[in-house]
A and B are shown apart, each in its own frame.
Chain A
Amino acid sequence: GQQVMQIPQYQHVQEGEDFTTYCNSSTTLSNIQWYKQRPGGHPVFLIQLVKSGEVKKQKRLTFQFGEAKKNSSLHITATQTTDVGTYFCAGGKGNFGNEKLTFGTGTRLTIIP
């Protein structure tokens, strides 16, 4: 079955440092979504990428979808304490009307003030 892996599993950074998490799928995806889960909270949708090579930005967050549509990355510039949480990618795959969204294993980010 489809697998979506993320690395690293954990990341500890000093406040102000950059952070990147990588998402890799075993199969070609129709789209990739990113979610953030704060400690004690629930996953919240951040963004969706659909096109090969697509790059989107949200303030300090940059999301990229690979050319082959099998991998993606989330980069945070100059991390802040509010960035703490677990970041999940979720890959969509399948034929129209029969697609499935598979969540990645997540990367837990902690910030050292």
Chain B
Amino acid sequence: ETGVTQTPRHLVMGMTNKKSLKCEQHLGHNAMYWYKQSAKKPLELMFVYNFKEQTENNSVPSRFSPECPNSSHLFLHLHTLQPEDSALYLCASSLGSSGGETQYFGPGTRLLVL
């Protein structure tokens, strides 16, 4: 185990639903990330948080809303998603958000939007 947990592991939701993905890291890291992984685009960075502050939003649609209440927890709130949003959503953490830091990934949430 990498010390990064994600729940739920699988999620099926309709386009009108609202759901949240949760990520928790037990590594004492200060930076946390959300990635989207689909067949067409292997690893897309969505959001970066460093010391609870959002430092990067990679042009993500507003139907994805991140929340970072503290350095150990990261949420991704989902509402009115589209079928093309179906993908594996990976959370990662690192000691800092420098490009030289190793990132530790959680197991991911596999999302299906119907």
Contact = CB atoms under 8 A, between A and B. Distances in A.
Contacts of A43: 43, 90, 92, 103, 105
A45 B102 contact: yes
A11 B57 CA distance: 33
Interface residues of A, number: 26
A72 B2 CA distance: 26
Interface residues of B, number: 19
A97 B100 CA distance: 10
Contacts of B92: 43
Contact of A99 (B42, B98, B102): B98
A9 B101 CA distance: 25
Interface string B87-114: 0001010000111111111111000000
B102 A33 contact: yes
A44 B102 contact: no
B43 A42 contact: no
Give chain B's interface secondary structure class: loop
Give chain A's interface secondary structure class: strand
A19 interface: no
Nearest to A100: B99
B102 A94 contact: no
Nearest to A105: B42
A88 B43 contact: yes
B104 A45 contact: yes
A94 B99 contact: yes
Contacts of A41: 107
A66 interface: no
A99 B100 CA distance: 7
Interface of B: 2, 42-43, 45, 56, 90, 92, 97-108
26 contacts: A30-B100, A31-B99, A42-B105, A42-B106, A43-B90, A43-B105, A44-B105, A45-B102, A48-B102, A88-B42, A88-B43, A90-B103, A92-B98, A92-B100, A94-B99, A96-B98, A99-B98, A101-B99, A101-B100, A101-B101, A101-B103, A102-B99, A103-B42, A103-B45, A105-B42, A106-B42
